[in-house]
Structure 1
């Protein structure tokens, strides 16, 4: 019997790449997004290319009501693989961020991940089988100015995933947090961040399919935290050893360079 993978935020970028990856392995898909015309085109393309069933659920997961409606739609269906990918960035400093945007981010990147994982995990525990992949960020290792709330939610995802890994020790359920680095997707444009995606080297933008392929290699090696990007690996290592005051100064400069400020 074919497995079913549920992937949130599969309209584009990393979510669509995960959908493509699991469809290529013969998994049926349940994919979510908000841009209905685009995600339905994605579903048709995946079905035609990989000959799997693809169900689209249009969902707003950045509110409590939206999360609860989505869980009701999932119901008691068997979910073998869950990819918590849906997320967004914010450009303003924390103090200038509208309260509605703060709430949306916390609901989407903390509460939705937590609630959906618990909902799906209950069935996985009964079957003693399943996989949960939570998309974190290299920002979880090194918070930057104008990225405070986003980085904080992504750090939660790492701690949450590692805790689940320990609780599920001795079962056949696997969990992983992925910190992908810079992705060539619509993420930054949606957050009104103007980035030079032609940049190469350590902090260059990578194709999302390549990131997913590397992360799944880490999954096969049973790595709980996957950092498939060399630049993100370097950030993780540096932050461990840098004196905090030095890190604060470097982070401020790096943030300014990304935004084009002097």
Structure 2
């Protein structure tokens, strides 16, 4: 397949939004996910709506065998754009996270990103053309309790992408890392988290398509680190300039208030 975009984690949310955006631009797609019925439904919709080819690869990229399966599936494909989006969060405090979940999140959000990027970069360089988009999070700027591993792996993605950008500065390969805040998707439900999704005010949940629109606008401008949404920008600013002790106190207090409010809302909904 030529003129292709590979998007990992395209079952819903940001991955699906990127799939629709690139299909609208006339690109063929290779999309991955684990929920077969849902992702095939997405593929059929995109093909019928945008009249492009969509190849579906059902794979679990949190495991080495899953990554190897995908690499084998794409070895003959001509990929112009890579969107490393697949990821998941963990609910428990760090001390309670099972080793299996530790291994899965670290492989998916570090190893898989690095190895997939390296594999595809090697085919982009001889063609002197390509775009690599890695999805991080505002959590890369501000780690929070009960979010330790997720934020740490997202910080890795941020640093990896910025380093890659500098390494490729003399090539025609474009590189971007996207660091959104809360996304209106099924991400939290998949992680077993009960959340109240605010649509307005501070820390509101943004529509995935709007995040992609803002990130693509930044990509066109050559902005390496895209931080869609004012809330994510505020978090980045606070984390960068506040003394660490003050920063810790703000995050701890915010987390406690958020958890208390969330527990209260959940109890009300359960009554």
TM-score by length of 1: 0.97
Distance 2:74 2:124 in 1: 14
Distance 1:81 1:60 in 2: 21
Report what 2:224 is aligned to.
Answer: 224
2:54 equivalent to 1:54: yes
Counterpart mapping for 1:17-166 below 5 A: 17-166=17-166
5+ residue gaps, structure 2, are: 265-271
SS in 1 for 2:79: coil
Change in CA separation of 1:261 and 1:240 when aligned onto 2, cut-off 3 Å: farther
Cα offset for 1:210?
Answer: 0.6
How many positions carry a matched residue from both structures? 262
Cα offset for 1:121?
Answer: 0.3
After superposition, what is the alpha-carbon deviation per residue over 1:193-250, rounded to whole angstroms, capped at 9, x for unaligned?
1111134123101110011000000000000000011000000001111111111111
Distance 2:174 2:263 in 1: 42
**Contact 1:2–1:26 (CA under 8 A) maintained in structure 2:** no
**Contact 1:124–1:130 (CA under 8 A) maintained in structure 2:** yes
Distance 1:239 1:11 in 2: 32
Report what 1:191 is aligned to.
Answer: 191
2:254 equivalent to 1:254: yes
**Contact 2:2–2:78 (CA under 8 A) maintained in structure 1:** no
**Contact 1:9–1:33 (CA under 8 A) maintained in structure 2:** yes
Runs of 4+ in 1 over 2 A off after TM superposition: 256-262
Cα offset for 1:69?
Answer: 1.5
**Contact 2:5–2:22 (CA under 8 A) maintained in structure 1:** yes
After superposition, what is the alpha-carbon deviation per residue over 1:75-95, rounded to whole angstroms, capped at 9, x for unaligned?
131110000000000010111
5+ residue gaps, structure 1, are: none
Distance 1:70 1:161 in 2: 21
Moved more, 94-103 or 185-194: 185-194
TM-score by length of 2: 0.94
RMSD of the alignment, in Å? 1.3
**Contact 2:2–2:79 (CA under 8 A) maintained in structure 1:** no
Distance 1:261 1:196 in 2: 10
Report what 2:7 is aligned to.
Answer: 7
**Contact 1:195–1:258 (CA under 8 A) maintained in structure 2:** no
Cα offset for 1:112?
Answer: 0.4
Distance 1:36 1:261 in 2: 33
Cα offset for 1:2?
Answer: 5.9
